[in-house]
Structure 1
Amino acid sequence: MPGRLRLDEPTREHLEMLAQGAAALAQFNLAAISIRDGDELEVVAAYGPGVAGAMVGKRLPVAVLEAELAQADDWGPWRFVPHERETPEMVDYSYVHASATAVGPDAWHPRDLLAAPLLDDDGELRGLLSVDMPLDGRRPDRRRRALLDSCAAVTRRTALTALERLELAERVRLAAQARDIVRRALGEPSLDLVVEASRSAITTCFDAVGMWFTAFDAQGGTSSAWYAEGADEGVEPTLYAVDDVVIAIADRAWADSRVVPFSAARPDVSGLPAADRDRLLDLLGRIGIGSVLLVPLGVGPDCLGFLALARASRNKPWTTVELATAVDIGHDLGHAVAHARQVDQLRRIDTYRTQMVNTLAHELRNPLFTVSANLEMLGDSDLDRGDRTSVTSASRAVDRLGGVLDDMLTMARVADPDAAFEPERVNLVEVLAAVEEDCAPVARAKSVSYVVHPPEEPFGVSGRPDELLRLLSNLSSNAVKYTDAGGRVDVRLTRSGGDVAMSVTDTGIGISEEDQDQLFREFYRSTNPDALERPGTGLGLAIVERIVRRHSGRVELTSTPGEGTTVTVTLPTA
């Protein structure tokens, strides 16, 4: 019967030899060793005819064992329960060998229990050694009990050493796993998601009941989060009340390239003033935390935050493996904090730029409207041919400037990270029809064939109709602009798996590979002299890319100079 404990083969073989040695030393036919796993004991090694196949892998609730041993005779390290005191609950977990018999008043009964609890130095139950069927068939007398005492002492010491070695190997495995998970989590787009993706692995690796995390922002403030398995994260813990104390420890620890284990047993390692040290100890005592491992986070000379890992027991030491792992994780999370700072700074710059563009465009609109109105009045007046030509040229320049302002305002709106996005169901067939009404006349004026291939069924997506109209208009007008007379532009809507694909294909001048890499940048104009002769703001495709991003889609471009270009936008269906 397979068990749930993860034992490597050398450890399992070692425990099997230990069970065999215990049987020989105690002068019994059968012996079994169980290891505690949470609230149960699992038989991991057994010696004797038939016992391994029948018992290894079986699990016994600790509560059932404790109830059984509560009525046992105390034989020093051993507990003896005569068969007449056996509890009904224990019957299902007992093993009786087929050949077992009992004859005489001091004979060993098949249901007698003789077991030695394997306790660690803190008195915690870590395992159990049990023996059965004495070689002489009789219950041990006082002389035999001396052998039993030696057997229990040797087994306890050897078994605990094996368990410590096994736990160390498991800690090393978990530490490597935690480091790997944290480093993979660094690919998450925000600091909150980095912590969320790695917090469970971190607490498991360090055998912690919880953790709290504080990052310092570039403005001198802090942002904090905490995590405990099964706890309500909506309730802010009182741990934040000592952030100032922990920050002082973190700053010094980062400068010294170390982590700080702190508990009532080791309060002086922090180097805190007595008043701050007592505040921290008092708080930990009130919330039931025995010790914490304070891990500074940073990059280069700068401490950027801290991670605090909490344990309920103050007696369980932080191992050297855990301390070394914590140092590595502190560096990894420090890079995440630095990255978050950079993203926040870029976001602030982007917001400032958006506000500046909005202000500039709105300020220019009023004088531009005045100029346009006056040019229109001049156009209606009686002018000679030269003056009329000048007015017409100025009117075209005003129209181009108006187009630039419209593009700038659109770009500012769709690129604003704080702008609300409230999608609705949009039928792209209707959007396509509206674009055709605008672009087809322009194409005819240039002798370009503009062909729309509308599907017979509605194509629904979730988004903003005005933005999707602008997206398709920009792609279509670009295609018409860069296609010479006699050329062709095709616009299609198709299914692509569970998505909708909008493609605009032209037979125009095409785009070089060097230009393709830059096309979606704001204000970028092609290096092709033929393209530069055609008017444009350099914002059309940048607006398309921002709108696609807002709609959780993707945009792809393929082009061959002299042959044409295809731009495909793929959006999720509604």
Structure 2
Amino acid sequence: MDEVIERKHGPGLLRLDESTREHLEVLAEGAAALAEFSLAAISIRDGDELEVVAAYGPGVADAIVGRRLPVALLEAELANSDEWGPWRFVPHDRETPEIADYGYVSDDVVVDSPNAWHPRDLLAAPLLDDDGELLGVLSVDVPLDGLRPGKLQRELLEKCAVVTRRAALVALERMALGEQVRLASQAREIVRRALSEPSLDLVVEASRAAIMSCFDSIGMWFLALDAQGGTTSAWYAADAAAGVDPGTYGVEDMLMQVSRTAWDDQRVVPLHAARREDEGPTAADLERLSELLEQVGIGSALLVPLGAGSECTGFIALARPSRKREWTPVELDVALDIGHDLGIAVANARQVDQLRRIDSYRTELVNTLAHELRNPLFTVAANLEMLEDAELEPHDQKSVASASRGVARLSGVLEDLLTMARVADPHAVLESETVNLLELLAVVEEECGGVAAAKDVDFVVHPPAEPFLVSGSPDELVRMLCNLSSNAVKYTDAGGRVDVRLTRAGAEVVVTVQDTGIGISEEDQRQLFQEFFRSTNPDALERPGTGLGLAIVERIARRHSGHVELSSRAGDGTTVSVTLPLD
């Protein structure tokens, strides 16, 4: 998900779309005709350079479109110019040596007159935005009459500059707006795809680059409230020049208060250094925040509340170095949408955290109960053993035997509970060593073979020709294999068969236990690995079990970076496969 939106604009425009370029070419042609010149060109600013993007005149487009000129060189050249309204005229004898290699020289001027146009004369009109920033330059060359413009032609030139500037600004603004909409849609899509990430940290990590790029931001402060009243906070900077983490200024509570109000109103809040525009209950907070922006060198910021339903669950604050550039309506709408999307991610993270806490509490409770029950159960079992050795009446002997069987079943349940608590505990450390699965199969055959024989079930272990080594806990892996095998024997009737195999699958080993037993319905298969689930099949319910066997298998497999697959049909046997990575 590590995607970055490609930007096509910075201080100027890096690349024009075809529609805007064609529009500027028409403007260049119109400027030449209106000003009564043979040639015209429009250059657009890209950072510290100007690029010729449109030209009109015989052969001039092929010669100069794509040429780039440093803005500093043009400014130095225009410092020697004569001002003709919006135009700047630099006679050839004032041309600076540094700019000589950048100009276009036409050989079409041949008028023999003291006022003749010289091939190296320069006439250019800077195209400025409403804040006086240079966006581009309109230049013309080779007047139709071959003479430098007189008073009447200068009036035409002034009208030409005004019309061209206005039309060029509209074209560039339209393109910038279209580009902004495209970037916003792309950012929104990236954020929504990031919601599939398994944790809040990964959601933010997968989408922050897209968010910062979409809003042309140098920094993003993310803060989310958890269900216990704590916070998750992070500051992401585009580079080292993006300033200090604003979290160090102790304004979290203030920003959360403003964010809650903004979430209630379903809006985002633009902030500007040393400038306050809002009125109302949060006005004092906004004034203080604006002063803080000025202190840390951030020109403007956009505070975006995060939330789900009626609850505000955090915010993101996007920073820009300049306060001149306003936050556009498109940006405000997209920011609010992203606030909704990230608010869902925060809400999901809080639910997952609560589920983890519940699961942790359940594990702790099961551990405590199992340990507390173990001692009295041991006492009961010891006393029953003494009674078995005593001389009792036949009726009393049957009662003791029945109680002993009950104690044995309870002991099995306790062992399953303790095992389940241990393998399901995310904090339980897996003490790994190299384990030969072939050796473990011998243990499984010894433990399950006798039970299978007593039931008249063929229990066949197919030893592989090579050892299969995995990394893990031998005790847990034996428990996993025994659970699978004893389960297969339990649900296979007399005359049936259970096969246990080890096979290689690339860099993994597959343990397969296949039986000819009673099988499992499709409905039961969907819940089979849940704790305490027992089959709905009456035939299966008659056979004793805790409903933890396969759940333990699944947890142990997961702890060993493996996975479990099951294939079965009611009345037609079951195949369970556990895949583990080879050491």
TM over 0.5: yes
Pairwise CA distance, 1:75: 4.6
Residue-by-residue CA offset, 1:498-530 (whole Å, 9 max, x unaligned): 543222111111111121111111101111122
CA separation of 1:391 and 1:488: change in aligned 2, threshold 3 A: same
CA separation of 1:425 and 1:345: change in aligned 2, threshold 3 A: same
CA separation of 1:56 and 1:424: change in aligned 2, threshold 3 A: farther
Pairwise CA distance, 1:558: 1.0
Do the aligned residues in 2 keep the contact of 1:259 with 1:296 (CA within 8 Å)? yes
Pairwise CA distance, 1:157: 1.5
CA separation of 1:420 and 1:119: change in aligned 2, threshold 3 A: farther
Name the amino acid aligned to 1:530.
D
* More displaced stretch, 171-180 vs 69-78: 69-78
- Choose from 434, 437, 455 the match for 1:428: 437
Q: Distance in 1 between matches of 2:536 and 2:65?
A: 76
Alignment of 1:310 with 2:319, yes or no, is yes
Q: Which residue number corresponds to residue 486 of structure 2? A: 477
Q: Distance in 2 between matches of 1:76 and 1:400?
A: 101
- Choose from 398, 403, 410 the match for 1:401: 410
Name the amino acid aligned to 1:15.
L
CA separation of 1:128 and 1:439: change in aligned 2, threshold 3 A: farther
* More displaced stretch, 185-194 vs 53-62: 53-62
Residue-by-residue CA offset, 1:108-145 (whole Å, 9 max, x unaligned): 45444433222212222212222233334444456544
Name the amino acid aligned to 2:238.
E
Do the aligned residues in 1 keep the contact of 2:219 with 2:242 (CA within 8 Å)? no
Q: Which residue number corresponds to residue 172 of structure 2? A: 163
**Which SS does the other structure have where 2:23 is aligned?**
helix
Do the aligned residues in 1 keep the contact of 2:42 with 2:53 (CA within 8 Å)? yes
Alignment of 1:518 with 2:527, yes or no, is yes
Q: Which residue number corresponds to residue 50 of structure 1? A: 59
Name the amino acid aligned to 2:168.
A
Q: Which residue number corresponds to residue 132 of structure 2? A: 123
- Choose from 154, 165, 172 the match for 2:163: 154
Identity rate, percent: 71
Pairwise CA distance, 1:371: 1.8
Q: Which residue number corresponds to residue 459 of structure 1? A: 468
Do the aligned residues in 2 keep the contact of 1:260 with 1:270 (CA within 8 Å)? no
Pairwise CA distance, 1:555: 1.9
CA separation of 1:120 and 1:232: change in aligned 2, threshold 3 A: closer
Counterparts of 1:272-287 in structure 2, within 5 Å, are 272=281, 275-287=284-296
CA separation of 1:92 and 1:548: change in aligned 2, threshold 3 A: farther
Name the amino acid aligned to 1:371.
V
- Choose from 116, 120, 144 the match for 1:135: 144
Counterparts of 1:472-551 in structure 2, within 5 Å, are 472-551=481-560
Counterparts of 1:257-406 in structure 2, within 5 Å, are 257-264=266-273, 266-269=275-278, 271-272=280-281, 275-383=284-392, 385-406=394-415
Q: Distance in 2 between matches of 1:157 and 1:533?
A: 87
- Choose from 392, 407, 424 the match for 1:415: 424
Do the aligned residues in 1 keep the contact of 2:78 with 2:90 (CA within 8 Å)? yes
Pairwise CA distance, 1:400: 1.7
Do the aligned residues in 2 keep the contact of 1:19 with 1:47 (CA within 8 Å)? yes
Name the amino acid aligned to 1:117.
P
**Which SS does the other structure have where 1:561 is aligned?**
coil
Q: Distance in 2 between matches of 1:488 and 1:421?
A: 34
Name the amino acid aligned to 1:165.
R
**Which SS does the other structure have where 1:35 is aligned?**
strand
CA separation of 1:321 and 1:369: change in aligned 2, threshold 3 A: same
Residue-by-residue CA offset, 1:533-559 (whole Å, 9 max, x unaligned): 221110011112222333343322111
**Which SS does the other structure have where 2:28 is aligned?**
helix
Q: Which residue number corresponds to residue 219 of structure 1? A: 228
* More displaced stretch, 34-43 vs 360-369: 34-43
Name the amino acid aligned to 2:351.
Q
Name the amino acid aligned to 2:312.
C
Alignment of 1:252 with 2:246, yes or no, is no
Do the aligned residues in 2 keep the contact of 1:102 with 1:109 (CA within 8 Å)? no
Q: Which residue number corresponds to residue 17 of structure 2? A: 8
Q: Number of residues paired by the alignment?
A: 572
**Which SS does the other structure have where 1:269 is aligned?**
coil
Q: Distance in 2 between matches of 1:402 and 1:170?
A: 69
Name the amino acid aligned to 2:356.
R
Q: Which residue number corresponds to residue 186 of structure 2? A: 177
Q: Give the gaps of 5 or more residues in structure 1.
A: none
**Which SS does the other structure have where 1:268 is aligned?**
coil
Pairwise CA distance, 1:494: 2.6
- Choose from 240, 246, 250 the match for 1:241: 250
Q: Distance in 2 between matches of 1:499 and 1:68?
A: 72
Pairwise CA distance, 1:493: 2.5
Residue-by-residue CA offset, 1:268-292 (whole Å, 9 max, x unaligned): 3163566534431221011111222
TM-score, normalised to structure 2's length? 0.89
Name the amino acid aligned to 1:222.
T
* More displaced stretch, 253-262 vs 88-97: 88-97
Name the amino acid aligned to 1:37.
D
Q: Distance in 2 between matches of 1:124 and 1:47?
A: 25
Residue-by-residue CA offset, 1:167-214 (whole Å, 9 max, x unaligned): 111122222222222222222222222222221222222222222122
Name the amino acid aligned to 2:277.
D
**Which SS does the other structure have where 1:208 is aligned?**
coil
Q: Which residue number corresponds to residue 17 of structure 1? A: 26
Name the amino acid aligned to 2:45.
R
**Which SS does the other structure have where 1:130 is aligned?**
strand
**Which SS does the other structure have where 1:267 is aligned?**
coil
Do the aligned residues in 2 keep the contact of 1:347 with 1:417 (CA within 8 Å)? no
TM-score, normalised to structure 1's length? 0.90
Q: Give the gaps of 5 or more residues in structure 2.
A: 1-7
Q: Which residue number corresponds to residue 216 of structure 2? A: 207
Do the aligned residues in 2 keep the contact of 1:261 with 1:269 (CA within 8 Å)? no
Residue-by-residue CA offset, 1:81-108 (whole Å, 9 max, x unaligned): 5556656664554444576779776554
Name the amino acid aligned to 2:407.
V
